[in-house]
Amino acid sequence: MDRQKQVGIGIIGAGFLAETRARCYAQVSGYHARLVAVAARTEASAASYAQRHSVPKSFTNYHELLALPEVDMVDLCVPNHLHRPIAEAAAAAGKHIVCTKPLTAYVGQDLPAGAGEQEIAQVDRRHMLAVATADAQAMVEAARRAGVYLMYGENWIYAPAITRAAGLIKASGGAILEMRGGECHSGSHSPYSKIWRYTGGGALLRLGAHPIGAMLYLKQQEGLARAGQPILPVAVSAEVGNLSRVPGVGEAEKPWIVTGWQDVENWAALILTFDDGSRAVVYASDAVLGGMESRLEIFLSNSQFKCNLSPHNMVQAYAPHPDIFGTEYIMEKASTSAGWSTPLPNEDWSSGHLAMCQDFVAAVAENRPAQADGNLGLEVIQVVYAAYVAAVTGQRVEITR
């Protein structure tokens, strides 16, 4: 595709993530990236999104969006259970695909219609691993057959802190011995995030997928640079829990962390073993106050890196009262602007979302794979659901391919 040719983007979904994508695609440089259509569940939400972002066409049926010849790629900003069917439909229509994390999830898609929490609670975690993995593999295969790119929306590997570390790691020639990383905040307020049949898991899946994706990517790149073969995960140990049930949490008139989790965890920790013997420790929590925390530490044989996506101290501010800054945005999940805070100058940039969207558009324009592809998303799903098996059984679980 010629550099000057427009890359037409169809957005499916009109929620929080779709807003982030619209901001980022508008800042893509070097290519004529343009939102040409949006499809959302209701006519009102589709029309409102189209008006806010100057999108020419809006639909409530995503198949109508996929039929548009001006759509070159579609971005799936939809709930997890819709990822596979929409991705397969997009591939069949010849559209390149961006799928947010996680690539897939187990939400009881193989159970009878109308199955609820009780039925899903009885499903063996090994079965969940098999179904979620099969769905991810089906998405990768659908894209391959159609000759389109399946791009995986993992922003961490595009974050400036991590890309800078990756460049220095490559220059050092050192071996990555250990990684420690996680994402934490005070919890999602969406009622859907608290129920397995809507999300396919809790903090481990929603938050832990980020550091897992970055860790897998860095070890893959290390292996390719050293021996022409990616270094892959081979085993996982894990624990999950619901910290909002700790005595005293619910006794306050207003709990500061989100409560009401039904059948999903709000805390998780896992140990990942790679085939070269290196290790990674991943943590994820919906029970941490003070705003979003997204961090990755990397320990090499000859160096060490500490990557702070959020918070970082590029700007530090102090206010004696929350009214001082009015309604100004500080950072995601910050409950107050009083006291010391770290107002993020450009969260889309520091989180990697902007560079990710740049790479996705460039991949389509240049007819090449993106850095984050469907295979990375597949590997993340295998690790996450193997960790759920490990957490339930209390045993170390091998990751098979």
pLDDT band at 4 (very low <50, low <70, confident <90, very high): low
For the chain, the domains span 6-154, 156-305+384-398
Q: Which pLDDT score, from 0 to 100, does residue 252 have?
A: 67
Higher pLDDT, 322 or 103: 103
CATH 3.40.50.720 fits 6-154, yes or no: yes
Predicted local confidence at residue 318, as pLDDT: 81
Burial of residue 360 (CB within 10 Å: 0-12, 13-18, 19+) is buried
Judged against a pLDDT cut of 50, whether residue 232 lies above it is answered with yes
**The dihedral of CA 73, 153, 364, 158: what is its sign?**
positive
The predicted-structure confidence for 73-97, as pLDDT tens digits, reads as follows: 999 999 999 999 999 999 999 999 9
pLDDT at 328 over 90: no
pLDDT at position 3, please?
46
Kindly state the average pLDDT of the residues 298-316: 92
Please, what is the average pLDDT of the chain? 94
Q: What angle do CA 108, 184, 279 make, to 5 degrees?
A: 85
Q: pLDDT confidence of 121, banded at 50, 70, 90?
A: confident
Give CATH superfamily name and number for 156-305+384-398. Answer: Dihydrodipicolinate Reductase; domain 2 (3.30.360.10)
Residue 49: is its pLDDT beyond 90?
yes
At 15-36, the pLDDT tens digits run 999 999 999 999 999 898 999 9
Give pLDDT, residue 185: 95
Residue 117: pLDDT band by 50, 70, 90 thresholds?
confident
- What is the per-residue pLDDT across 353-379, written as a single tens digit (0 to 9) for each? 999 999 999 999 999 999 999 999 999
Q: What's the whole-number mean pLDDT along residues 280-305?
A: 96
Q: Which of 2-11, 321-330, 347-356 reaches the highest mean pLDDT?
A: 347-356
pLDDT band at residue 2 using 50, 70 and 90 as cut-offs = very low
Range of weakest confidence among 10-24, 126-140, 314-328: 314-328
State pLDDT tens for residues 165-203: 999 999 999 999 999 999 999 998 788 899 999 999 999
Burial of 329 (0-12, 13-18, 19+ CB in 10 A): exposed
> What's the pLDDT at 335?
80
202-219 burial, b if ≥16 CB within 10 A, otherwise e?
bbbbbbbbbbbbbbbbbb
- The residue-averaged pLDDT of 291-317 equals 92
